[in-house]
Amino acid sequence: MEQIAQLPPLTELSQEEKFFRDTVRQFAEQEIAPLVRRMDEEQHFDPALLRRLFEMGLMGIAVPEEYGGSGGTFFDSVLAIEMLSAVDPAVAVLVDVQNTLVINALVRWGAEAQKRTYLPRLASEYAGAYALSEAGSGSDAFALQTRAESRGNTWILNGRKLWITNSRESGVFIIFANADPAAGYKGITAFLVEKDTPGFTIGRKEDKLGIRASSTCELILDGCEVPASQVLGEVGRGYKIAIETLNEGRIGIGAQMLGLAEGAWGHAARYAKERKQFGKPLVEFQAMQFQLAEMATEIEAARLLVYNAARLKDAGLSFRKEAAMCKYFSSQVAERVASLAVEVFGGMGFVRDYPVEKLYRDAKIGKIYEGTSFMQLAVIAKMALDL
């Protein structure tokens, strides 16, 4: 209780946080909303929108001011992800990966030369990607088969990565490879690989159920030669970078699912007030009121979990269990709320003329990426039960 007392009230925002939240919300509603359907159907992220995200400072929230970024808090990133997700989770996940994974990893583990090379670019022109997953290493992340062989002052990388978010838009990739397979996970090392590095190729883009504008691609490393100066952190310490960064990234996914649920609820509530049946608006039926009330209650509970985890992280307190809880619960809420929103719309919710159909499709990934729901439950159980 003493630790919690040090934190600000979870849902109480400072004036600066409120202004930032409202600015991002307005940007999303005015500039992203008109593009959502086209980007989803074409499975393509609008390049002009990517430039606007940089101009708004949303791609460099986590970059310290000395490197040209906004110097924002982790909580600022969470607010931005939440607001963007209410309009388009596919846009939010790009901003999420950029700030909570890529920039976060560079700030914490990058050498000064690496920070000065990449952080200004990540704040102004480069999207970044985080390449850990492979065909045989999803939940078992450290079963990865990508290899790194040392040759003097260079490393040669060989292998394939799957399901890598931001692949098409990125200029730099954090790629995890095993430099010493005999050492198991203690051989895993993180490398900074630029898009135009010889031997590095971006493969096919996945044809996904949801967040279709977000590029999720295979990465191919075939004799990819990387200078020793591009090792992020230390050789053999990649597992620590992966674990700790993903713990923080899960809060970002929680924020994404929270925002998605808020967006779906907003559409459902508006429709319930407009749509008439039996001579009166749907919202006047008690059954509809109760359904919307239950949805609102679950969303508020998810918000408290997400904000609590983010506040703990910013305060330098332990947050691993809370991150797992917020990711697990928010993904459950997002799927349930989006599904009920489709039902509020009835037949209209089943067609692409209305946005709830897309939000329902987008919600499913929340239970899968950056740690499945089963993995979150395993973390929660281990920590809650002191196993």
Active site residues: 370
- Cβ-based neighbours of 269, under 8 Å, separated by 6 or more: 283, 292
Do residues 376 and 250 make contact, with C-beta atoms less than 8 angstroms apart? yes
Neighbours of 4 (CB within 10 A): 12
Do residues 151 and 165 make contact, with C-beta atoms less than 8 angstroms apart? no
- Cβ-based neighbours of 294, under 8 Å, separated by 6 or more: none
Long-range contacts of 307-310 (CB under 8 A, 24+ apart): 307/10, 307/11, 307/75, 307/78, 308/7, 308/10, 309/251, 309/254, 310/74, 310/75, 310/78, 310/251, 310/255
Do residues 167 and 129 make contact, with C-beta atoms less than 8 angstroms apart? yes
Tokens of 81: 């992800």
Tokens of 146: 């990508």
Neighbours of 127 (CB within 10 A): 26
Q: How does DSSP assign 183-240, residue by residue?
A: GGGGGEEEEEEETT-TTEEEEEEP--SS-TTS-EEEEEEEEEEEEGGGEES-TT-HHH
